[in-house]
Structure 1
Amino acid sequence: MDPSLSVIGKRADFLAANRGLRIARPGFVLLAQPNGGRGKRYGITVTKRIGNAVVRNRMKRRFRELLWDALPEAGLPDHDHILIGREGGVERDFAALQSELSAALQRLADGKGDRPRTPRHRSRSRRA
């Protein structure tokens, strides 16, 4: 692991990254947001929808290796980088994930993100 990388631990930082650039790929979604001079930081999110704990931990280990390999050279300086696991990500070939991540980081460097997601609205009707 590169000493210039640090891990994001606070939920507020994860939520703040959700307001930044978003790039979706088949195995993951990459979020990036400037962090005000805190250096290159990364975070990983894999929800229970992906699978049981064994599957989620395996996906997180793979993502960690991807980020450790790619972020020191291709990551944006003073940005938070968040990888969110998608359903097909754990079965994808590691080399395919590497090429997708490098393409996603290049799009970030160019300032090109995917269009913003439409917000989910909770229904206001409550039954007694």
Structure 2
Amino acid sequence: MKKDQRVKKSQEFSKVFKEGTSFANRQFVLYVLAKEGQEQWRVGLSVSKRVGNAVVRNRVKRLVREVFQSATDELRPGCDYVVIARVPAKDLSYSEVRRSLFHVMRKAKVIHKPKRSSE
């Protein structure tokens, strides 16, 4: 994932939390903030220490990044997304993470076209 596709600064996270809209399921919370003049989407990740040790947290972040990377063509551009992983996310496989995130994305209506494969 490219650097310009990431939400990194604390002020950027705070702005998404304050001004964005949240959607959630058991495994993830997704905050969405539409940004005027921004051509592509950006994603920020938050995985608490309650989820697990550093190895577990990094694995969850890798899986979430991979799902976003694979959904590049389907995601609504011009938005900042912040994903907060909840404790149950630590035990999920890639396909389960993908299914769960797509569920939240559909609730948020940020997917252009429904993907018919392996969901």
Taking structure 2 as the reference length, the TM-score comes to 0.79
In the TM superposition, 1:1-128 aligns within 5 A as 1=1, 6-18=5-17, 19-38=19-38, 39-70=40-71, 72-109=72-109
Q: What is the distance in 2 between the residues matched to 1:73 and 1:109?
A: 14
- State the SS of the aligned residue for 1:9: coil
Bigger-Rg structure (1/2) = 1
- Give unmatched runs, 5+ long, in structure 2: 111-119
**TM-aligned CA deviation for residue 8 of structure 1:** 1.2
What is the root-mean-square deviation in Å for CA atoms of aligned residues? 1.8
Q: What is the distance in 2 between the residues matched to 1:107 and 1:73?
A: 18
Aligned residue pairs, count: 107
Taking structure 1 as the reference length, the TM-score comes to 0.74
Q: Is the 8 A contact 2:52 2:90 kept in 1?
A: no
- Can you list the C-alpha shifts for 1:30-65, whole angstroms capped at 9, x where unaligned? 111012222211111111121111111111111111
- Can you list the C-alpha shifts for 1:91-119, whole angstroms capped at 9, x where unaligned? 02322221222222222227xxxxxxxxx
What corresponds to 1:121 in structure 2? Answer: none
Q: Is the 8 A contact 2:63 2:97 kept in 1?
A: no
Q: Is the 8 A contact 1:74 1:105 kept in 2?
A: no
Runs of 4+ in 1 over 4 A off after TM superposition: none
Give the partner amino acid of 2:103.
A
Q: Is the 8 A contact 1:74 1:102 kept in 2?
A: no
**TM-aligned CA deviation for residue 68 of structure 1:** 0.9
Q: What is the distance in 1 between the residues matched to 2:13 and 2:56?
A: 22
Q: What is the distance in 1 between the residues matched to 2:61 and 2:48?
A: 11
Q: Is the 8 A contact 1:27 1:92 kept in 2?
A: no
Give the partner amino acid of 1:66.
V
Give the partner amino acid of 2:53.
N
- State the SS of the aligned residue for 2:73: helix
**TM-aligned CA deviation for residue 20 of structure 1:** 1.2
- Give unmatched runs, 5+ long, in structure 1: 111-128
